């Protein structure tokens, strides 16, 4: 079984998120999503509209997602890759090169973002 791992906040779930999850799942058999907790988002200076539990429920309802785990800090990635026996680490290409240090543990793939959509854009559009 080929295991895939990605990370994110996944707030205001949108087509860009779904496209990422679908393409990530297509790289293997089992997709694990490490979801940023509310406490970790606060450390990152992010405020999600939905709580961690609500975002987790939304992700668990997406057919491409097999398991949702909490992301509590920046440093847990190597531990997660080893613990969950991950074969491929996937992130959007806006993070290009930032996770290359994981290449000694698994394959690292940066997928193109869906053009014209982001949580930030949605929040800005709704605010106007």
Which residues are designated catalytic? 44, 46
Cβ(4)–Cβ(20) below 8 Å: no
Q: How far apart are CA 58 and CA 52, in angstroms?
A: 10
Cα 44 from chain centroid? 15
Extract the tokens encoding 98.
């930032």
Specify which residues 7 forms β-bridges with. Answer: 34
Comparing CA positions, the residue from 53, 49, 21 lying closest to residue 37 is: 53
């Amino acid at each position: 079984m080929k295991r895939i791992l990605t990370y994110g906040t996944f707030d205001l779930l949108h087509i860009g998120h779904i496209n990422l999850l679908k393409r990530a799942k297509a790289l293997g058999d089992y997709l694990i999503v490490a979801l940023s907790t509310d406490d970790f988002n606060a450390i990152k200076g992010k405020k999600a509209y939905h709580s961690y539990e609500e975002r987790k429920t939304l992700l668990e309802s997406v057919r491409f997602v097999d398991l949702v785990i909490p992301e509590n800090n920046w440093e847990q990635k190597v531990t997660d890759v080893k613990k969950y026996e991950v074969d491929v680490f996937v992130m959007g290409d806006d993070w290009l090169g930032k996770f290359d240090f994981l290449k000694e543990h698994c394959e690292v793939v940066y997928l193109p973002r869906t053009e014209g959509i982001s949580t930030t854009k949605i929040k800005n559009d709704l605010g106007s």
